[in-house]
Structures are given as structure tokens and as C-alpha cells.
Homo-oligomer: A and B are copies of this chain.
């Protein structure tokens, strides 16, 4: 008999009916002969509703108290789920983060799991109980309740799976990982398998299905993740080590990130100090820079273009104003009508010419791009908003996604 970890997200637990369905799903697994550890998120929008209350009292609620507040959400979902399992005739027990031995460290609302002391979980599994653990939360060395940040329940589930040296099934409201977001490319195919590396690129590049941290942790401890829809029988997607995946396509997926603000600073007096200063000033305001491109200096002047999040617009404007004062005749352009299209595939490592081929596809289809950046397994382009759908479609068709 082996242990399996199943994780259910908030949308799968949004009401009593859904909780009962999740209970049925858990029971099916239990009946197949496995011991089951369930990790549950808070019901529906509970966490946001609780946060709203806190922010109605204070614009800057103390993070320790926020953790105390929002951790109540999972306490509700785990007890109701356990009650549902018992009502259906199965032995079960719910455990908060601290009861499950999930020790964390770091700053409140963004804690990291330090270790899991699974004594109580083991005891209950030995009693043939289904153990329902509160995701997203733990306890720090001071005895304060902590939370792991958005998507933290995925991290809890993967950490538990790592601790029990087993697989992790994540049930959510999407039925798997798609090569391209179906919103952009209606004939997008669901992937049977994806490697940790590709999933990490997909997640950080805008496919918000799984938290990057959870995938990172899974990669580190080699935890196989199975991601599927909670209330459907359709097959989902396995996320695992790349060399366990037989067929390696050169391109696995295409993602689109809409939250792009492209800023160009032209005619900067060229010196490494000046360039460094620009990015220091931006960093001091916590403005996260994504893509950067720089033209070769010409007549002792240089042009720099970078992208950031649209929400940083006001902060960025302040920095740019100060830079203008300092550098005098620089020229600033802000463009919020671009998006980032990324092409991802672990096969790129072995197959040369992917970038060249994509340039060719874009040229043939009159898709203009402003910037290009590459990582080992991805290539990203900023394109005009209006070309977004076309870009995704021609790439999807070319790579049979």
C-alpha cells in the first residue's frame, strides 16, 4: 500500500455540493487501495473576502495578523471536507498546518516550508484514516501561524509528497496544461506530459496554472505532479523529469503575457555607469524589469528598451522624470500596447535554428516584433497587441500545438 497526496483548489471546494464531489473523488482513490493525504485550499473566494475585511480596517495590516486571519479559511474547508468523508462512511481527520507538523520560516504572508514533522499524519494513516491537511499554512519557530503566499497550497502538497516520497495529484478548475492558452488558439492541444523546466518557463511567462515555487520544489525533490480537473474524468497532464518524457518536441508551448509595459530611453550619454544607474534607480523603487535590449552605442549615445508590469507605470514615471533631469536630452517612450509572446520547449537545447525559424514565420506573416530575449529553453518576443492572436496562431500551426 502506498501513500498518495491529492490537492484540491478553492474553486473545487467552493460550496457544499462541490465539497461532496471532492469527497467522492478522494474515496475513489482510497478504494483503489492507497493511503490518501489530502491538501485543501480555502473555499472559493474566502481568502480574498477575509483580506478585504482586513484592508477595510487598515491600509497596511500587520502581516502576522493577516496570516492569523486568512489561515482560518483552510480550517473551514478541511473540517467540512472531513465531515463529508465521514458522512460517506470513511474514517478521516483534519489537521491545520501546525497540527500536520508543517514548520515554516521567513516573513509573514510569504513563509517558506522548512521541514515537515509528519508524526501525526503517520499515526492517522496507520489508523487507516484519510488525512485532510490545511494547505497554504504552517507554523514558525515562534509558534505563530504563517502562510506561504498565493498558490501556497500547491507548495504544501508538493512538500508533503516529497516528505512521503510519493506522487502529487493537483485537482483544479483547468483540466491540464495546454501548449497554448485556448483563449488565444482555439485548437490548442492538452499536453500529456511536460518537464519541470518547461512548466517553470510556462508558469513564469504567464500560464498561471501552477505556482512556480511548487514546480521548483517538485523539480528539486523529483516529485511527479499530475494536474487535472477535479470534477471531470478527462485525463490531465503529468509534470515530471524531462528525461522520463520519451518524445521531445522542439516546441512544447506558447504563452502570452498581457501585462507588459515597454519603456524606451533613447540618446543616453554612453557609459557603463549611466546604464547601471538607470537600473539601480528602477530597482530602488521595486520595479521589476523583465526583457532588456540595448542598441550598440552610436556617437557616444545609446538606446535602451526594457519591459515591466503595467502596475509599475506611476513609479516608473517618477524615476524617468529624475533621469531626464540628470541626463538632459534623453528621449523617453512608453508603450502599453504590446504583449509578450513566448515559445517554450526543452527540445530547443538539442535542436538548433528554432529562433531562425520563428523569425522567418513572423516575417512571412507580417508580424513585427520589438524585442527578443532567449533563455535556454524559451524565446520571447514583444509584439503589438493587435498581432497577438495571429502570432499565437501561426506558431501553433507550425509546431502542431
Contacts and interface: CB of A to CB of B under 8 A. Distances in A.
Contact of A54 (B54, B57, B65, B80): B80
A251 to B, nearest CB: 46
Contacts of A66: 79, 83
Nearest to A83: B61
A272 interface: no
Interface of A is mostly: helix
A84 interface: yes
Given A16-B56, A56-B16, A62 B75 contact: no
Interface string A227-261: 00000000000000000000000000000000000
A19 to B, nearest CB: 7
A20 B54 CA distance: 12
A65 B83 contact: yes
B94 A79 contact: no
Counted per complex, copies of this chain come to 2
Nearest to A68: B79
A25 interface: no
Chain A interface category by residue count: 35 or more
Contacts of A20: 57
A49 to B, nearest CB: 10
A371 interface: no
Interface of A: 16, 19-20, 50, 53-54, 56-58, 61-62, 64-66, 68-69, 71-73, 75-76, 78-80, 82-84, 86-87, 93-94, 96, 99, 120, 143-145
19 contacts: A16-B53, A20-B57, A54-B83, A57-B84, A61-B83, A62-B86, A64-B93, A65-B79, A65-B80, A65-B82, A68-B75, A68-B79, A69-B75, A69-B76, A71-B75, A72-B72, A96-B145, A99-B144, A120-B143
